[in-house]
Amino acid sequence: MSKEKSRKLVNDETKEGLIYFEIWGIALILLSIIIISELGTIGAALYVFIKFAFGDWYWLILIYQFYYGIMLILYHEFPTYKLIKIRGLLFILSGILINSHFAIYHTVNNNDGFFNIIGQTWNVYMTYLDDPNADLITGGGIVGAVLFQVVYTLLGTIGTYFIAYALLLFGVAYVFERTIYDLIGDLYDGITGAISAIRNRLLNEYKKMKDVSKKNKEVKKTKFDIFDHNKEVEDTELASDAFFDQKLTLDDEDEIRGKDKKNGFTVLNPKILDTYDNKNILDGQKELTIGNAKVINSFLSEFNLHLEVNEIYIGPTVSTYIIYIDESYKTKKFFNFKEDLELKLNSKSLRAYHSIEERRTLVIEVPNKYRYKISLREVLEERKRGKKTGLPIGRDYRGKLKTLNLERNKNILVVGNDLDSKVNFLKCFLLSILYTYTPEEFEVVIFDSTKYELNDFSKLDHLFYEFTTLFKTCTPLFIKLYTEIRQRFNLFQKYSCSTIDEYNERNKEKQMKPIVLIINDFSDLYLNRGEYLNYLNYIMNNGNKVGIYLLFATSTISDNLFKSHLKSSFQTIVSFMLNEKELSLKLIEEDATKLLKHGDCLIYERDGNTSKRTQIATISDDDITNSGL
């Protein structure tokens, strides 16, 4: 059955299309080599033609042709000239050709009015054909001559200079997809940064030289005083000993930085991460939570509901009140008065729902007046102390540690209209991997179509595939993961295994690592409708069977995106605040419109059909910086 699906995915037509692009790519690469080497009559003739067309910059065209051929082989599609980078390269080439043609202009211009730069360029090439060894300036070739003639005729000499450099500037801006203002700012920052670095280096060298000179003088003074001032020398030695007692060793530095060697990889210790003192916040909230419990009990008595609060929990974001109910109790009676309870507690964000997770209960969640922050450091350390599995990400409504176990949670969907919370969750998830596993134990693949939200992790040591942001690079990425899954299925079959743990138990030398594919923002991928979707759907349906998991994140949420077959592919959904109640109920069967911002979320697990309110650990800029990212 799996073979039939594989053949359906990569059918003959697809293979034929891939070969077509590879043939074109190889042809362009070979043609570049033939021309640059002037191989045979054809190579020599094409060399003369290219040089005639582009002058002294003919080699740049051949390099671009070589690069274009490689792109065809790698991505199996023709880069169109609608792409902003391609247009940028054309602008740069035009600017170079125009600017380089000023050499011919200054040679032949007699300041006697209009002259034919195209004709003069033609004459230069006729001379070159008669004597190829002649030392001639060919400028930007006939193409450069045409561009130069048009611009010069319209704008004159100064205007031509301006256009040439403007094209270069615009081209660079297009290639790097930056505004001109940003480019100038980057250039300024680069220059000032370089000057500052040089200045600091010189000052450090000067300081070192000054210190050496001072020490040399002290040594000379000590040698002189040693015969007549023994007491002074003894005091100096004691002071010196006291200083060296406090000198940092490499071990001390490791302790401060929190480094620990594991499998040859330097694992960071959570001690370098931020931590928060929440004692005063908890003390202040405790009194309010108990007061609200009395208000709830009073409300239950006032409306003759014959209930009372049985359990109270102070969580990071909300205080939770649990009321036991028997099997015969009709919860509709309680929910009819829910708005009255909101008024009594003065809380529009109150959530109340019926739960049968452990026993039949009514659950009331009231937002805390004093919310406390959770640090990644505290949850990492608690996981280590408690010897728990999974990736620690925060605390649930009871303040208990919350982890994500990919073997159980498998494919994870992260949604929410609260963009900051989504980005914070992704950073928390990645840092949790960094502090929990070495690259030999766990690998990551990141596609970030936003091009900026996860840039801090572009050089992560755990990367299975290079950090990717462009749609055109998706196909080779997903093909690699598709191939990896097929290879793992073959290995499982060969060694009669059904899980990674079984395989690793039987293959101590060559261990198989879990991989998580993180896609942010995944809605862009589906809306773009590229050919990679076939591979992505295969990865989604089969990857978790061989230890390759998915984490899809998006803040763009619509009914068209979340069809039933797509929703069913995710075993776990992490939902931050949503604007639409109907969509929330469709996704997680809960009302996420009542959630708060700054990391407050519901984690829905399909297997148990349960949702648990959770506060995600806050990731600060210092956490990112101190982690070496």
Dump pLDDT digits (tens) for 30-46.
988 888 888 888 888 88
d(CA 583, CA 567): 12
pTM comes to 0.59
d(CA 410, CA 482): 17
Helix axes 141-175, 84-100, angle to 10 degrees: 140
Q: Are residues 472 and 539 in the same domain?
A: yes
Q: Are residues 427 and 414 in the same domain?
A: yes
pLDDT at 262: 54
Q: Are residues 231 and 152 in the same domain?
A: no
Cα-Cα-Cα-Cα dihedral of 514, 457, 599, 361, to 10°?
Answer: 0
Contact between 586 and 407 (Cβ < 8 Å)? no
* Tokens found for residue 449: 């179509």
614: exposed, middle or buried (Cβ count in 10 Å: 0-12, 13-18, 19+): buried
Q: pLDDT above 70 covers what percent of the chain?
A: 80
Q: Are residues 383 and 496 in the same domain?
A: yes
> Pick from 443, 429, 383: which is nearest to 572 by CA?
429
Q: Count the domains in the chain.
A: 4
Q: Binding site: what residues are annotated?
A: 416-423
Q: Are residues 579 and 620 in the same domain?
A: yes
Q: Are residues 423 and 301 in the same domain?
A: no
pLDDT at 55: 81
d(CA 92, CA 82): 16
Measured in whole angstroms, the distance separating CA 13 from the mean position of its chain's CA atoms is 34
Q: pLDDT above 90 covers what percent of the chain?
A: 20
Q: Where are the beta strands (DSSP E) in 390-506?
A: 391-396, 401-404, 412-415, 443-448
> Pick from 623, 629, 625, 583: which is nearest to 271 by CA?
623
pLDDT at 210: 67
Strands 391-396 and 361-367: unpaired
The conformation of residue 620, written as its DSSP 8-state character, comes to P
Q: Are residues 257 and 294 in the same domain?
A: no
Residues 6+ apart with CB under 8 A from 400: none
d(CA 332, CA 231): 92
Q: Are residues 172 and 192 in the same domain?
A: no
Q: Are residues 453 and 324 in the same domain?
A: no
Structural domain that includes position 206: 184-272
Lowest average pLDDT, out of 139-153, 172-186, 519-533, goes to 172-186
Mean pLDDT of the chain: 79
d(CA 20, CA 83): 21
Domain of 619: which CATH number?
Answer: 3.40.50.300
How many CB atoms sit inside 10 A of residue 576's CB?
26
> Pick from 377, 385, 383: which is nearest to 272 by CA?
377
d(CA 133, CA 115): 27
d(CA 612, CA 353): 12
Measured in whole angstroms, the distance separating CA 587 from the mean position of its chain's CA atoms is 26
pLDDT at 394: 93
Please state the rounded mean pLDDT for residues 574-595: 87
Please state the rounded mean pLDDT for residues 331-341: 86
- Reply yes or no on whether the pLDDT at 384 is more than 90: no
- Reply yes or no on whether the pLDDT at 460 is more than 70: yes
Please state the rounded mean pLDDT for residues 207-220: 58
Contact between 411 and 569 (Cβ < 8 Å)? yes
Q: Are residues 350 and 474 in the same domain?
A: no
* Tokens found for residue 224: 């002189």
Q: Are residues 547 and 558 in the same domain?
A: yes
Indicate the pLDDT class of residue 245, thresholds 50, 70 and 90: very low
pLDDT at 462: 92
Please state the rounded mean pLDDT for residues 523-535: 74
Last residue of a domain, one of 253, 272, 291: 272
Query: Residue written as tokens 């480094």?
Result: 259
pLDDT at 215: 53
For residue range 546-558, what is the model confidence (pLDDT) as tens digits? 999 999 998 877 7
Indicate the pLDDT class of residue 253, thresholds 50, 70 and 90: very low
- Reply yes or no on whether the pLDDT at 615 is more than 90: yes
Please give the backbone phi and psi of residue 515, each rounded to the nearest 5 degrees, phi first: -130, 135
For residue range 481-507, what is the model confidence (pLDDT) as tens digits? 999 999 999 988 888 888 888 888 888
- Reply yes or no on whether the pLDDT at 224 is more than 50: no
Q: Are residues 24 and 82 in the same domain?
A: yes
pLDDT at 407: 84
Q: Binding site for ATP: what residues are annotated?
A: 416-423
Strands 311-314 and 572-575: unpaired
d(CA 393, CA 430): 10
DSSP states along 245-266:
HT---HHHHHHHHTEEEETTEE
- Reply yes or no on whether the pLDDT at 617 is more than 90: yes
Contact between 61 and 50 (Cβ < 8 Å)? yes
How many CB atoms sit inside 10 A of residue 322's CB?
18
DSSP states along 268-327:
EPGGGS-----HHHHHHHHHHHHHHHHHHHHHHHHTT------EEEE-SSEEEEEEE--T
Domain of 345: which CATH number?
Answer: 3.30.980.40
> Pick from 273, 523, 279, 471: which is nearest to 376 by CA?
273
d(CA 48, CA 396): 73
Please state the rounded mean pLDDT for residues 160-164: 88
**CA geometry: angle at 145 spanning 139 and 147, to 5°?**
120
Lowest average pLDDT, out of 240-244, 360-364, 549-553, goes to 240-244
- Reply yes or no on whether the pLDDT at 533 is more than 70: yes
Indicate the pLDDT class of residue 565, thresholds 50, 70 and 90: low
**Residue type, position 412, single letter:** I
pLDDT at 367: 92
Contact between 407 and 362 (Cβ < 8 Å)? no
- Reply yes or no on whether the pLDDT at 574 is more than 90: yes
- Reply yes or no on whether the pLDDT at 84 is more than 80: no
Could you tell me where the DSSP H helices lie in 473-557?
A: 474-494, 500-506, 522-528, 533-542
Last residue of a domain, one of 214, 239, 272: 272
Helix (H) or strand (E) holding 188: helix 180-225
d(CA 190, CA 564): 50
pLDDT at 155: 87
- Reply yes or no on whether the pLDDT at 419 is more than 50: yes
**Residue type, position 237, single letter:** E
d(CA 26, CA 487): 28
Last residue of a domain, one of 183, 210, 233: 183
- Reply yes or no on whether the pLDDT at 203 is more than 90: no
- Reply yes or no on whether the pLDDT at 321 is more than 90: yes
Please state the rounded mean pLDDT for residues 380-399: 87
Contact between 582 and 364 (Cβ < 8 Å)? no
Indicate the pLDDT class of residue 428, thresholds 50, 70 and 90: very high
Contact between 428 and 393 (Cβ < 8 Å)? yes
Please state the rounded mean pLDDT for residues 335-354: 87
